[in-house]
Structure 1
Amino acid sequence: MKNVLALAVTALVAAVSSVICARLGIPVWSMFIGWIAFVAGGMSARTAAPTFVCAILGLVLGFVGASIIGGGAAALGGDIALLLGVFVIVFAALLAQFVPFASLVVCYFIGMTTFFASGLPPTAPTALVLGSGLLAGVLSGLLAVILSGVITRGPAAETT
């Protein structure tokens, strides 16, 4: 029964988070992508911050890729600019595995995907909106894990 209650609390956290995001003008889907990053990053308080950092760095790489692709299209041609842009951002994301605090490569790809899937231009307002969604998802996932843990563990045993 505790497990069912923990699942219900997780669903409630997601539902409340979606309403908060919608009210703040943050796309709800970006909150869910942040939650996916949280799960992919390890689903713990210890991994929440590195997960968010890697997803944000992936978002930044998406901006870099879009700039290379958009800026190089006229000079190099669309296919060459696309090839170069994707090579640069994927290589950078793969190199990140050697960065101690920010080595969650999958979260870089989650951040890049968030940007490219949004269809938004690489601007500061885009970074703010998508970054806020990713943060909301990571924090919602963390809150759900903490609350679920409290429910499934129950009260601490008394010692005498």
Structure 2
Amino acid sequence: MSHSQDSPRGYLTVTVAAAVTAALAAAGALALSLPVWAMFIGWIAFFTRGLTTRSTFENLGCVWLGLGIGALSALASGALAPALGVSLALPLVVFVVALVVVSLRGMPVLNNLPSYFLGLVTWFAAHLEPALESVVHLAGATTLGSIAAWVSHFIPRQVLKVA
């Protein structure tokens, strides 16, 4: 979403399209019982890199993997806490997760470090039980947000080309 549009009309078109898209995405999230805040995580992920259809999928894939890693880390923390105590188990798990996630930045694809962390933050902010259903629930919300961001970015440009 650039603010350097060629005309006031273009600026207004992009602004209104983004606002309408955000409102529709929020309504969709509510209708699907998805957390609206998590929908906006997907929106943010879209704008972390690329602004292309391909990068939309790559950024979202990193968010999804971050969600999965977050769920696995919650399981690992829970499993290690009885033996090590929370004050040792949690930092140990965070260390391993950080090693894995930061290492992924070197991958040829799915290397968007901010999107991985957006997935992790989404997981921990949601305070859900570590289960596949919880990951799918949050993945649905972030997917809705990324699609909405894609629409808010590409549709105004198409409208402005036609006009």
TM superposition score category, shorter chain reference: over 0.9
The question of whether the paired residues in 2 share the 8 Å contact of 1:41 and 1:107 is answered with no
Per-residue deviation at 1:101? 1.3
Per-residue deviation at 1:99? 1.4
Residue 119 of structure 2 corresponds to residue 121 of structure 1: no
Instruction: Measure, in 2, the Cα distance between the counterparts of 1:96 and 1:32.
Output: 24
- Work out which of the residue numbers 54, 65, 80 in structure 1 matches 2:73: 65
Structure 1: runs of 5 or more not aligned: none
- Work out which of the residue numbers 56, 60, 67 in structure 1 matches 2:64: 56
Per-residue deviation at 1:43? 2.5
Per-residue deviation at 1:110? 0.3
Against the structure 1 CA distance between its residues 130 and 118, is the aligned structure 2 distance closer, same or farther, given a 3 Å change threshold?
same
Structure 2: runs of 5 or more not aligned: 1-8
Identity of aligned pairs, percent? 30
Q: Structure 1 residue runs of 4+, over 6 Å off?
A: none
- Work out which of the residue numbers 33, 44, 64 in structure 1 matches 2:41: 33
Partner in structure 2 of residue 21 of structure 1: 29
Residue 154 of structure 2 corresponds to residue 141 of structure 1: no
Q: What SS does the aligned partner of 2:25 have?
A: helix
Segment drifting more, 40-49 vs 29-38: 40-49
Partner in structure 2 of residue 106 of structure 1: 114
AA partner of residue 46 (structure 1): R
Query: Residue deviations 1:57-112, cap 9 Å, x none?
Result: 10011012111211111101111101111011111110101211110011100000
Instruction: Measure, in 2, the Cα distance between the counterparts of 1:150 and 1:64.
Output: 41
Compute the TM-score of the two structures, normalised by the length of structure 2: 0.90
Compute the TM-score of the two structures, normalised by the length of structure 1: 0.92
AA partner of residue 30 (structure 1): A
Partner in structure 1 of residue 162 of structure 2: 155
Segment drifting more, 39-48 vs 71-80: 39-48
